[in-house]
């Protein structure tokens, strides 16, 4: 065989008729195990970001095996298809995994996480805290005296309901996530559940 791998069931047995270069009736199928490749698709809207970050360096891919979520296999993005699938609006990608422990298996279903970039020590806030006004985006910050202060902010990407705040907030500051339409700067707020703040009713 041209590569090392694992054989499956025999396709032919003693007494079967075979002929040279018979691609329709192979003797056996060999699947490569190490390294192994994981194919997955992403929406075409993400293609521009993937290409931009891939041009800066190799991207990390994690394969999460069901019921083994705490031990994802780590690999690298090695292939971006040359066309978007018009029927699904997705593009096919491929990650390469060393798979030395042989935890990944041909045909196995896994969840894939593709990491484009890391932003350590970022300040994040709930997405519902960010409001839009005539002067741009802002949040209501809860001051020490439990009054609301309107603070302009600059936000980045949103991930799982959290937005990265690039400017306008300091670590540890509390923001209002509910009832902003009834708030004005200086209004009293009431903190509930240690996290959410809303206008205090008389």
Question: Would you say residue 30 has pLDDT above 70?
Answer: yes
Question: Would you say residue 201 has pLDDT above 70?
Answer: no
Contact indicator for 197, 189 with CB cutoff of 8 Å: yes
How confident is the model over 118-164, as pLDDT tens digits?
A: 888 889 999 999 999 888 999 999 998 989 999 999 998 887 888 99
pTM: 0.64
Question: Would you say residue 6 has pLDDT above 50?
Answer: yes
**Within a 10 A sphere around the Cβ of 81, how many other Cβ atoms?**
14
Both ends of the chain: CA-CA distance in Å? 80
Q: How far apart are CA 121 and CA 84, in angstroms?
A: 35
| pLDDT, average across residues 29-41 | 91
Q: What pLDDT is stored for residue 202 in this prediction? A: 36
- Listed in sequence order, the residues at least 6 apart from 167 whose beta carbon sits closer than 8 Å to its beta carbon are 153, 154
Question: Would you say residue 95 has pLDDT above 70?
Answer: yes
Question: Would you say residue 200 has pLDDT above 60?
Answer: no
Residue 193 binned pLDDT confidence (cut-offs 50, 70, 90): low
Instruction: Report the greatest alpha carbon distance in the chain.
Output: 92
Q: Which whole-number Å values give the CA distances from 114 to 55, 61, 111, in the listed order?
A: 15, 5, 10
Rg (CA), the chain: 26
Q: What pLDDT is stored for residue 195 in this prediction? A: 46
């Amino acid at each position: 065989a041209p590569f090392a791998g694992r054989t499956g069931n025999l396709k032919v047995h003693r007494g079967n008729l075979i002929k040279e270069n018979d691609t329709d009736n192979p003797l056996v199928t060999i699947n490569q195990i190490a390294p192994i490749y994981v194919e997955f698709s992403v929406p075409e809207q993400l293609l521009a970001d993937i290409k931009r970050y891939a041009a800066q360096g190799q991207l990390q891919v994690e394969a999460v095996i069901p019921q083994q979520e705490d031990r994802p296999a780590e690999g690298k993005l090695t292939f971006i298809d040359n066309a978007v699938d018009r029927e699904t609006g997705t593009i096919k990608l491929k990650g390469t995994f060393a798979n030395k422990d042989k935890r990944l298996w041909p045909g196995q279903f896994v969840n894939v996480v593709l990491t484009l970039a890391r932003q350590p020590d970022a300040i994040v806030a709930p997405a519902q805290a960010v409001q839009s006004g005539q002067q741009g985006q802002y949040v209501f910050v809860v001051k020490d005296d439990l009054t609301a202060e309107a603070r302009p902010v600059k936000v980045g990407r949103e991930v799982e309901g959290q937005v990265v705040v690039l400017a306008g907030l300091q670590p540890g500051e509390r923001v209002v996530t509910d009832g902003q339409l009834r708030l004005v700067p200086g209004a009293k707020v009431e903190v509930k559940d240690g996290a959410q703040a809303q206008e205090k009713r008389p």
